[in-house]
Amino acid sequence: MPEVPSGAPEVSRKRGAEPGPLLEQGTRRKRACWGILTSQGSWADRSPLHEAASQGRLLALRTLLAQGYLANIVTIDHVTPLHEACLSGHVACVRALINAGANVNAATIDAVTPLYNCCASGSVGCMELLLQNGAHTHVPHTHFPSALHEACKTGSSQCVESLLSHGADPDYEVSYLGSPLYMSCLHRHTDCSKILLHRGANVNVGRGGDSPLHVAVRQDSADQVSVLLDYGADVNLKDTNNQRPVELAPPGGKTQQMLLAFEVSPRSLCQLCRLQIRNLIGRSRLKQLPCLPLPSLLTHYLEHT
């Protein structure tokens, strides 16, 4: 644990004020995001720098840094002030901490990074600052929390777009969550699904034997099903219970009607050609489509726009 400078205020073991509605709401949000990270032990040893970063008090934060507080001071669970600023979406505090030498890839004992917290709060401004200063879009182990999965869970399409633009793998699988596309379908975030598929995510990779189409159908999410079918989802894939998507659709629901209609009138030649061409181009080169000397109509056709 970093030493507190002698000239700085003593670290409080209690919160300075009675928790009001906004403070309680913020506490619940952090507890939901971090699990054990806001247990009584870690909450009690937060420094004034953590408090200033969490509450967006930029002047107080700068004063504390000038007094000698370390930008990378941690709680017993390795939560840094940068974690706090990102979770609360305070861009100015994030910038000040980075300028003071904060580690943009700092990880808590649960392997949560500041980038992950940006996705939890939906703060694309904080995220861009982290990425511009060397934040890693990938995690070293498939059981660690993934920023891209969190963005797909919360429905932050801007965060998804930003992460993919900085090299995040749209097919990266977390062992217990599946693919990012599966996560966006599970939580009904069609905009995130569209971005992932546009960037070349595999439409059939889900979690175990469960495909994105399976989970979208179970929830009778017609928008998700339509997008997945348009990008080539396999309607004949079977899940771990040996069931096809149409067998999981709520009887009489929109998704059942869509799948039954699809089976009697499969994809057009236009759709099949686009899917095949995109597959041959390869995911890594899809972003270069606008650079090809093609008519704009053909470019839009291949881009699925």
pLDDT of residue 5: 45
Residue 41 has pLDDT above 90, yes or no: no
Identify whether the C-beta of residue 172 lies closer than 8 Å to the C-beta of residue 179: yes
Residue 6 has pLDDT above 80, yes or no: no
How crowded is residue 68: how many other Cβ atoms within 10 Å of its Cβ? 12
Higher pLDDT, 26 or 18: 26
Give the lowest-confidence range in 9-18, 49-58, 176-185, 248-257.
9-18
What CA–CA distance (Å, rounded) separates 283 from 278?
8
Residue 240 has pLDDT above 50, yes or no: yes
Higher pLDDT, 32 or 125: 125
Residues in contact with 25: Cβ distance below 8 Å, sequence separation at least 6, in sequence order: none
Residue 253 has pLDDT above 50, yes or no: yes
Give the lowest-confidence range in 38-42, 164-168, 177-181.
38-42
How crowded is residue 256: how many other Cβ atoms within 10 Å of its Cβ? 20
Which of 114, 127, 192 is closest to 160 using CA atoms? 192
In the three-class reduction of DSSP (H, G, I as helix; E, B as strand; rest coil), residue 224 is classed as: helix
Identify whether the C-beta of residue 201 lies closer than 8 Å to the C-beta of residue 180: yes
Computed over every residue of the chain, the mean pLDDT equals: 86
Residue 179's pLDDT band (boundaries 50, 70, 90)? Answer: very high
pLDDT of residue 45: 81
Residue 304 has pLDDT above 50, yes or no: yes
Which of 97, 152, 167 is closest to 130 using CA atoms? 97
Share of the chain above pLDDT 90, in %: 67
Residue 210 sits at φ, ψ, to 5 deg, of -90, 115
Residue 191 has pLDDT above 70, yes or no: yes
What CA–CA distance (Å, rounded) separates 126 from 87?
9
pLDDT in tens, 193-224: 999 999 999 999 999 889 999 999 999 999 99
Q: Vertex 145, ends 144 and 147: CA angle to 5°?
A: 135
pTM: 0.82
pLDDT in tens, 82-119: 999 999 999 999 999 999 999 999 999 999 999 999 99
What CA–CA distance (Å, rounded) separates 22 from 93?
19
Encoded amino acid at 231, one letter: Y
Residue 71 has pLDDT above 50, yes or no: yes
pLDDT of residue 20: 44
